[in-house]
Structure 1
């Protein structure tokens, strides 16, 4: 009984002690919870301040100009470019560089004569050089990379939206500086060199009379040469919307009295005036252009050749463009008619004017044009069929019967692009030339090309 009573007493004392200690324990727990809540509140406040600071720094970084990335240069070596490529240009200037490497391989047969060694017509189709009235030549093979080119451009947009810039482009179709025995070296030639500011342009580029957008794709350097306007020259041009007007460098091609090769006269007192207006839309493009010329000659007597001092007015109208026939087809065309405009067609097929025994000029009328159908078999393969022709009304009493009356050509080509910027093409062309006396000649050419654009 004693033991049992002692145990009971101990249990009673323990229960009493626990009951008396509960308020203290509860008070301690409440203190710890209050301290924990205060600490959590403090941490939340600190986190809010950090996030606010990060957002502020990011906003400031986005508003500031991006710093130039530091070049990673191996120890002991200097970076290739440490300053702007156009250090003399204002802010807002961009630089561009482009061009292509083009190699041509061609086999040519003249059916009524022979193209001379080194003739321009051996490198590209020149209608006025098609031999006539002779015996057929053997097949001549030529290969070159003369038409490779490169260009540099700088463009600037000011803070108030004004635009200005310049462009220069060159190829290698200059005179031979070596020979085909070893070096095949050719001179660099100037294609384009102009500056522009807003609506004004000054310098050398395509004539405003020419519709560059209507040119079809060809393996030959030009393509529809017989009937296309193709001139680059110095000019001052103003463009607003679809309208443009230019004053361009004058030059007069004259057929001597009685016939013979054309002679260039640079005696014009006034520039050639060209005007153009164009439209474009989902249906394609269309443009109309006008040309007014001062044809002039001023030369002293030389031997049996009498002095000549005369001028006349020449002019022409052209229409053309591109008509989209569907997703994979388009039709490109051009038609030009007038008097004294031959210099603008096909690399000068005949003279702008003839001259009589008194030194007076008689401008030559003509009609020129081309049509080209393009079909894309796939994004990588396309086909072009091109026909071009021009015909001239020579005053035979002044030019003789050996003046070119008509040239025409038809060509078919196919292009394949195995990779972006890489083109491989093949083209078959047949050209014909006829003189006023009825003598004619024909030229057949098979040409291949490879081109890498950059």
Structure 2
């Protein structure tokens, strides 16, 4: 038995134990050191994130402070108000039926009044410059007249026709300005249109009111025309700025035996966005007791927007042998001794309209007609005091629209006519001196 080996066994065991403890302690230290380092890194990341959030919050505070300062400066500093934004027009109510047709009803209630200082013989509040009594021959002075006969009711319609996007459209519109006393129901417009064609009654292709200065008077003034005729017409478009309209029309000339319609043509051209012109021509057979003559006429209209809100309109006519298109003309033809004799005239209207604001506008206008003095024509007329050498009228009006459906107008007009022959008291001049007013509710 080895005694030394016995004594050395505990020593070895002890050393081994001590060594293992030291290793364990070392490993534990290493683990703690690693955990501490990881924790420190995590803390450092959180601190950096907090620092970035604080910086972002500080930037937001600075921006809010700057905006608050701008608002305070804007409140303290007066600035020009922004222009009002125009209200969008309300969509018109539309009725639809099963076939797909659409109908839109519209109209107005219109009350007209006129105070006749001097002039008119007829009991109506509208223009009669070509027939006002000559001075000292039964003028109706200091008279008030009123009517609601210009009240109108209308309907626009549109219906799909055939394949694709083709649609047939039209209009039916009536008022109460018919009959001798201007108080009967009458047709203003009644037509259908498809593609480039129109069939029915609407504004004449020759004498239309587009270039006539605005008036309170529903029948316009000397040199103007408010003619609506039954017609068939076709429109040819050459470009977005130019088109040609050709029509055959029934002018309803009761002074003749009509067997052929009138032929009219109108060339429209837009020289610029603010400048449009229209050249027109007319030809018509006049027939009385187997005698025939050809009536003809030309017209030229222009509309020019001088600046936003300021518009100039002018319209000129030269017509021979016709009184059915342009208002207030002498009879176009008269028959005497188996012959027909024709009247001839020139007329012009010109006016300036100013839109003062979205509620108020006004117009200054002037109209003039001069008639050629054909001796045979004059001698063929029985009452020469009813045939005129010259007519003229000047007017000024204002229209006020407090809201979109309502409009009120006030107008002063003065005009004269000079007759071919004098009355029994020697007078050849008739005077028209009036104040007109109108109130309209549109629906």
What TM-score do the two structures reach when normalised by structure 1? Answer: 0.69
SS in 2 for 1:379: coil
Structure 1 residue 414 displacement after superposition: 0.7
Any idea what the Cα deviations from partners look like across 1:310-337, whole Å, max 9, x if unmatched? Answer: 0101101100021111012110110011
8 A contact 1:110–1:130 mirrored in 2: no
Cα gap change, 1:337 to 1:138, in 2 (>3 Å): closer
Aligned to 1:87: 97
Structure 1 residue 386 displacement after superposition: 0.7
Distance in 2 between residues matched to 1:354 and 1:390, nearest whole Å: 20
SS in 2 for 1:445: strand
SS in 2 for 1:397: helix
Structure 1 residue 431 displacement after superposition: 1.7
Moved beyond 6 Å, runs of 4+: none
**Cα RMSD (Å):** 2.1
What TM-score do the two structures reach when normalised by structure 2? Answer: 0.71
Cα gap change, 1:275 to 1:432, in 2 (>3 Å): same
Question: Matches of residues 219-238 of structure 1 in structure 2 within 5 Å?
Answer: 219-223=216-220, 225-238=221-234
8 A contact 1:127–1:349 mirrored in 2: no
Query: Does residue 351 of the first structure (1) align with residue 340 of the second (2)?
Result: no
Aligned to 1:431: 415
Distance in 1 between residues matched to 2:180 and 2:224, nearest whole Å: 27
Task: Identify unmatched segments of 5+ residues in structure 2.
Answer: 1-93, 238-242, 423-427
- Structure of higher CA gyration radius: 2
Aligned to 1:75: none
Query: Does residue 126 of the first structure (1) align with residue 123 of the second (2)?
Result: no
Distance in 1 between residues matched to 2:134 and 2:368, nearest whole Å: 17
8 A contact 1:251–1:267 mirrored in 2: no
8 A contact 2:213–2:349 mirrored in 1: no
Cα gap change, 1:250 to 1:381, in 2 (>3 Å): closer
8 A contact 1:294–1:314 mirrored in 2: yes
Structure 1 residue 176 displacement after superposition: 8.3
Any idea what the Cα deviations from partners look like across 1:134-158, whole Å, max 9, x if unmatched? Answer: 2554300011111010101211345
Question: Matches of residues 382-397 of structure 1 in structure 2 within 5 Å?
Answer: 382-395=361-374, 396-397=378-379
8 A contact 1:250–1:268 mirrored in 2: no
Aligned to 1:31: none
Structure 1 residue 443 displacement after superposition: 1.1
Query: Does residue 446 of the first structure (1) align with residue 435 of the second (2)?
Result: yes
Distance in 2 between residues matched to 1:328 and 1:175, nearest whole Å: 38
Alignment match of 2:267 (pick from 263, 277, 293):
277
Alignment: residue pair count: 332
Question: Matches of residues 234-383 of structure 1 in structure 2 within 5 Å?
Answer: 234-241=230-237, 242-252=243-253, 264-280=254-270, 281-298=272-289, 309-346=290-327, 348-358=328-338, 360-383=339-362
Distance in 2 between residues matched to 1:237 and 1:443, nearest whole Å: 38
8 A contact 1:291–1:316 mirrored in 2: yes
